[in-house]
């Protein structure tokens, strides 16, 4: 066993189902006691891989590959649902000293918020994906691992941080976890701070310890927690005092105060930060992102004071968060005049989906469900006009006023569906486009109730960015 065994690590992960199996097996070996993550390694991973002395995912891969060949030989279909290993798409950031049940619960939370079944996502967890037999005797320094983890985050494009306990996550005080946060927020480059089965197994891509050129931006960061903790977290953020307490914890994150099990790791990470973005800028970036997660909750709840306070503390208003919204029903029967004006501005006909069924007041324009969006979209969807207006004072929010949620809808769609003239006007003033449809092809103004036609036409008549012919027709409609 040499360091060469760790020069490249397979980009393979396991399903939630398999992680749950590991938890159950470790519990049994510990007589029913809840294992820490390092104990799952000791009680489950190392014994299971002792003969081959490889990583757990490599052993599972070999077994799956053998099953694939056997199925092909027998001309049977091997369902993907039965495969515990595959190409990882989510990097899991966690503390080895925390209960492994918290990690499993965080994976469940991730799948629920992303509306994915347990077999559909493969999670890259270091104790499963790295050869722990080789790691135990390795002489590779921490810089090797920092580059490897940065490459993993860059290539996967998604990080699930195990944020437990919810009131003060252990991971936010650990050097490696903050390094992984730094890597996620800089697109995978941790040094500069700068979302069918059976034919064959997925490609066996490898992760190396070499810097990967330009980072792939847009890494999604999700804070995952078990169901009970998620419920307690939501209850807390719905009260001003609870939200304030969580904000205090997020605002106190400080890389220089973080700990590591190995002092050399801590010094290496500190060196990367010092030679790169610097501690103050790094702390501000991490705090701003975490506070931005809270901002979405405050925005959807319509708590103006909390939104203002979070913005004053440096919360990023463009951070995307998963929140569950009730169905959005129209403010009245939807008219055709605004739809026609919108279609002319877009150079197209009104979307066919705006028909008789869509005009019924009881029809849900946007159904109940989890929505991934920034604070402005959450505020608009929830009908929080004053909060949305407050957010629109932020230059970054105005720049991203047309950013769609996970279903292709934009803030202007929500404001129009609600018949919220004040917010429609504020969004148009901020530069929101009337010519971009949602996932069903519906233009925002096509969702307006007839009572809003004339006032909105007045607004359109004054928008210099619209073609003169459209403004003229809007003025005629408003008369």
> Using one digit for the tens of pLDDT, what is the confidence trace for 179-215?
999 888 886 444 433 333 333 333 344 444 333 333 3
- Mean per-residue pLDDT, 256-276: 90
For residues 352-373, one letter each, b for 16 or more C-beta atoms within 10 angstroms of the residue's C-beta and e for the rest, the string is eebeeebbeeeeebbeeeebbb
Reported as a pLDDT band with limits 50, 70 and 90, residue 217 is very low
For residue 204, the model assigns a pLDDT of 41
Among 32-41, 99-108, 267-276, where is mean pLDDT lowest?
267-276
For residue 5, the model assigns a pLDDT of 52
Which residues on neighbouring strands pair with residue 36, listed in sequence order?
99
CA–CA distance, 478 with 279 (Å, rounded to integer) = 56
pTM of the entire structure? 0.83
- Mean per-residue pLDDT, 31-48: 95
Most confident of 199-213, 231-245, 318-332: 231-245
Picking from 109, 85, 112, the residue whose alpha carbon sits closest to that of residue 21 is 85
Q: Residue 275 above 70 pLDDT?
A: yes
Reported as a pLDDT band with limits 50, 70 and 90, residue 476 is confident
Mean pLDDT of the chain: 82
CA–CA distance, 365 with 442 (Å, rounded to integer) = 10
The answer to whether the CB of 44 falls within 8 A of the CB of 26 is yes
For residue 69, the model assigns a pLDDT of 60
Contacts for 291-294 with beta carbons within 8 Å, 24 or more apart? 291/247, 291/250, 291/251, 291/315, 291/316, 292/316, 292/317, 292/318, 292/319, 292/321, 292/375, 293/223, 293/319, 293/321, 294/237, 294/243, 294/246, 294/247, 294/250
How does pLDDT run across 149-183, given as a tens digit for each residue? Answer: 888 888 899 999 999 999 999 999 999 999 999 88
């Amino acid at each position: 066993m040499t360091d060469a065994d760790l020069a490249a690590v397979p980009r393979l992960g396991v399903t939630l189902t398999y992680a749950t199996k590991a938890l159950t097996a470790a519990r049994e070996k510990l007589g029913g006691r809840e294992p820490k993550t390092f104990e799952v390694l000791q009680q489950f991973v190392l014994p299971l891989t002792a003969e081959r002395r490889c990583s757990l995912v490599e052993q599972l891969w070999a077994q799956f590959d053998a099953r694939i060949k056997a199925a092909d030989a027998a001309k049977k279909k091997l369902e993907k649902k039965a495969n515990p290993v595959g190409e990882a798409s989510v990097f899991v950031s966690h503390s080895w000293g925390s209960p492994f049940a918290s990690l499993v619960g965080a994976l469940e939370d991730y799948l629920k918020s992303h509306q994915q079944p347990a077999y559909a996502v493969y999670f890259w967890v270091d104790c499963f994906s790295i050869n722990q037999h080789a790691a135990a005797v390795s002489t590779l320094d921490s810089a090797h691992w920092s580059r490897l983890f940065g490459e993993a985050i860059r290539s996967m494009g998604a990080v699930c941080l195990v944020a437990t306990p919810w009131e003060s996550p252990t991971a936010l005080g650990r050097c490696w976890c903050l390094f992984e946060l730094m890597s996620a927020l800089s697109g995978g480059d941790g040094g500069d701070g700068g979302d069918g089965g059976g034919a064959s197994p997925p490609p066996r891509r490898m992760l190396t310890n070499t810097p990967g050129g330009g980072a792939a931006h847009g890494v999604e960061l999700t804070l995952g927690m078990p169901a009970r903790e998620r419920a307690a977290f939501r209850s807390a953020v719905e009260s001003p005092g609870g939200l304030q307490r969580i904000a205090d914890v997020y605002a106190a994150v400080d890389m220089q105060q973080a700990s590591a099990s190995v002092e050399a790791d801590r010094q290496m990470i500190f060196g990367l930060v010092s030679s790169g973005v610097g501690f103050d800028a790094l702390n501000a970036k991490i705090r701003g992102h975490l506070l931005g997660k809270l901002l979405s909750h405050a925005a959807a709840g319509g708590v103006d004071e909390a939104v203002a306070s979070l913005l004053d503390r440096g919360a990023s208003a463009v951070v995307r968060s998963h929140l569950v919204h009730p169905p959005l029903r129209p403010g009245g029967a939807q008219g055709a005049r605004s739809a026609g004006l919108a279609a002319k501005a877009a150079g197209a006909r009104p979307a066919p989906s705006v028909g008789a069924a869509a005009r019924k007041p009881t029809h849900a324009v946007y159904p109940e469900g989890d929505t991934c969006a920034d604070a402005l979209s959450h505020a608009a969807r929830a009908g929080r006009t004053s909060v949305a207006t407050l957010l629109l004072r932020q230059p970054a929010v105005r720049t991203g006023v047309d950013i769609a949620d996970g279903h292709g809808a934009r803030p202007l769609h929500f404001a129009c569906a609600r018949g919220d003239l004040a917010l429609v006007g504020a969004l148009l003033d901020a530069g929101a486009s009337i010519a971009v449809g949602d996932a069903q092809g519906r233009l925002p103004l096509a969702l307006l109730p007839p009572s809003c036609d004339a006032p909105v036409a007045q607004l359109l008549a004054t928008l210099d960015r619209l073609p003169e012919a459209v403004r003229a027709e809007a003025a005629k409609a408003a008369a």
